[in-house]
Structure formats: C-alpha cells, structure tokens
Amino acid sequence: MGEVTRGGVLFPGTDHIDQWNKIIEQLGTPSASFMQRLQPTVRNYVENRPRYSGYSFDRLFPDVLFPSDNNEQSRRKAAEA
C-alpha cells in the first residue's frame, strides 16, 4: 500500500542485499527479538552493519500525499496507482 500511496518503489534495491540495506536505512535496524529469528549468517551480517534509527512515518508518508479536500480532480485514479 505504501508504494501505491507514494507512487513508486519504496526500497529500490539492485539485489536482495541492497534492498535489505535500503529497508533498514529507512525503517531502522531490527529489534533484538527480530534478530534472534534470523539465520546465524544473516544475523551476523545485520549485526555488523551500521545501526539506523529509521525515519518517522511523517517523513515516509508526508501529509501532502493525503489531501484533505474532496476535490475529485486532485484524487489519484486507479489507473495511476
């Protein structure tokens, strides 16, 4: 739903590792409980990456994406999604 709202790919990685890095840069480093569920080799990789606090919801989905007026012209059409 986020990609439909923003009108583009949220995490445009070139491969699965690059995509993972883009996800944690924007959403933040996973919690310790999440990390415990990862395979040991993956967990080791993640633990040795820089830590990110992530962006706020407002930065990822600014208010301008959710117009409050009822103007039909400003609404995104299904074909545009």
CA dihedral for 40, 42, 45, 50, sign (positive or negative): negative
Q: Is the pLDDT of residue 12 over 90?
A: no
Q: Which residue has the higher pLDDT, 17 or 69?
A: 17
- Residue 2 domain-assigned? no
Strand segments (E) across 1-81? none
Residues 80, 74: contact at Cβ < 8 Å? no
Residue 42 in any domain: the answer is: yes
Q: Which two tokens stand for residue 75?
A: 């609404």
For the chain, the domain total comes to 1
Domain range for 50 is 15-62
What's the pLDDT score for residue 74? 62
- Give a yes or no: residue 43 inside a domain: yes
Confidence (pTM): 0.62
Residue 79 pLDDT > 70: yes
Residue 30 domain-assigned (yes or no): yes
What are 24-68's pLDDT values in tens digits? 988 899 999 999 999 999 999 999 999 999 887 777 777 776 677
